[in-house]
Amino acid sequence: MQMTAALSRGPESPFTLETVQIDDPRPDEILVRIVATGLCHTDLFTKSLLPQTVGACLFGHEGAGIVEAVGSEITHIVPGHHVLLSVRSCGVCRQCIDGHRAYCERSHQLNSAGVRTDGSSPIHQNGAPIRAAYFGQSSFAQYAITTVDNTVVIDPAVNLAVVAPLGCGFQTGAGAVLNMLRPEPDSTFVVFGAGSVGFAAILAARTAGVTTIVAVDPVAERRKLAEEFGAVTIDPATDNIVDAVRAATDGGSAHSLDTTGIGAVINQGVASLRARGTLAVVGLGAREVPLNIADIMLNGKTVRGCIEGDSDVTTFIPRLVELFNAGSFPIDRLVTPYAFSDINQAVADQTSGKVIKPVLLW
């Protein structure tokens, strides 16, 4: 079947809308008509890493849509179901069996290889395969081939354009708080970087009843919105971040989250922890960061990595949808819609900080 897709043809080139062909679903696959897809920093980060010689790539991993067709082996998902798409996991490795599907031992093969597990691509152009199957979906297109493990059925009354980012960005921030850090109501929580992941973390901390929430971000508009959500804000351009965090949290944060991936910011996060505090890191950026090990050891501090909010998408995404429906997780205030034809403008606006979460609509 022919469809339109937003292809990447190199790390520096813009996305281009082009006609491609998508396979019919195999017995264990699902064909989803995409309604909306969130634009995530991970899409752009991965795009920047792949050399020009890789050829055309189809990204997109926060898809939301309606099931068009299912393979013969699929029983509990049927055409017409409204679904959110997320990260794949095998379900049978040690991590998956232990309930940590975000750390699936086959994650790279299932999500980042650019092909199905048998080496084929579900997307072609003029007979040539396109690097696709990104996060088991490649949803920067009108349709996507997905699988049971990354396709979550949701209430059809929910606005797909709002909840699409639950597939990754919003899930990552909220899950880091609710699944990993788990702050107590009388505890303190600090987020470094108030983008889509950071704001989802702020909203999650609110749902957990945390009364002291701090947001560190250089963009005035984002600080203003964080204050509307009940956070104390810090401007890194004018404030001494470590001192300001300690002042706002009565001596240091118990729970912190870095969304920036910037080494200097990560170190500020560690330094501003109280004794036995924890910093979770979710930002893609610096591969190596020097840390003050003496400070970490002598004060019992913890630095933890966190992928996809440490969540099982099949249970955590429905939980977040319920919180949104209940009015306690107002992610609609974070989303800005764009037509897919305006994808490059959405990239520019996200990069500049003009918007928090662009969502692309067909």
In the chain, where are the structural domains located?
Answer: 2-157, 173-307
Q: What is d(CA 304, CA 140) in angstroms, rounded to the nearest whole number?
A: 31
The DSSP line for 137-176 is: T--SBSEEEE-GGGEEEE-TTS-HHHHGGGGTHHHHHHHI
Could you read off the pLDDT of 23-32 as tens digits, one per residue? 999 999 999 9
Q: What is the pLDDT of residue 286?
A: 79
Whether the predicted pLDDT of 327 surpasses 80: yes
| pLDDT confidence bin for 197, thresholds 50/70/90 | very high
Strand 273-281 relative to strand 143-146: parallel, antiparallel, unpaired?
Answer: unpaired
Q: What is the pLDDT of residue 239?
A: 81
Q: What is the pLDDT of residue 52?
A: 72
What is the pLDDT averaged over residues 165-171?
Answer: 97
Return the structure tokens found at 220: 């005035």
Protein fold of 2-157:
Quinone Oxidoreductase; Chain A, domain 1 (3.90.180)
Kindly provide the b/e burial profile for residues 287-326, where b requires at least 16 CB atoms within 10 angstroms of the residue's own CB.
Answer: eebeeeeeeeeeeebebeebbbbbbbbbebbbbbbebbee
Q: What is the pLDDT of residue 107?
A: 96
Stretch among 77-81, 171-175, 235-239, 304-308 having the lowest mean pLDDT: 235-239
Q: What is the pLDDT of residue 194?
A: 96
Helix axes 241-248, 263-271, angle to 10 degrees: 40
Q: What is the pLDDT of residue 342?
A: 98
CB 15 within 8 A of CB 9: no
| pLDDT confidence bin for 49, thresholds 50/70/90 | confident
Measure Cα distances from 340 to 34, 106, 247, 347, 357 in Å.
Answer: 11, 31, 44, 11, 14
Q: What is the pLDDT of residue 274?
A: 98
The residue ranking higher by pLDDT, 101 or 49, is 101
Q: What is the pLDDT of residue 186?
A: 93
pTM: 0.95
Q: What is the pLDDT of residue 284?
A: 82
Whether the predicted pLDDT of 320 surpasses 80: yes
Could you read off the pLDDT of 79-138 as tens digits, one per residue? 999 999 999 999 999 999 999 999 999 999 999 999 999 999 999 999 999 999 999 999
The residue ranking higher by pLDDT, 208 or 239, is 208
Kindly provide the b/e burial profile for residues 328-337, where b requires at least 16 CB atoms within 10 angstroms of the residue's own CB.
Answer: ebebeebbee
Q: What is the mean pLDDT of the chain?
A: 96
Q: What is the pLDDT of residue 256?
A: 98
Whether the predicted pLDDT of 267 surpasses 80: yes
Q: What is the pLDDT of residue 300?
A: 98
Q: What is d(CA 155, CA 145) in angstroms, rounded to the nearest whole number?
A: 21
What is the pLDDT averaged over residues 12-40?
Answer: 97
| pLDDT confidence bin for 51, thresholds 50/70/90 | confident
Q: What is the pLDDT of residue 223?
A: 97
CATH number assigned to the domain with residue range 173-307, chosen from the 4 options 3.40.1280.10, 3.40.50.720, 3.60.21.10, 3.50.50.60: 3.40.50.720
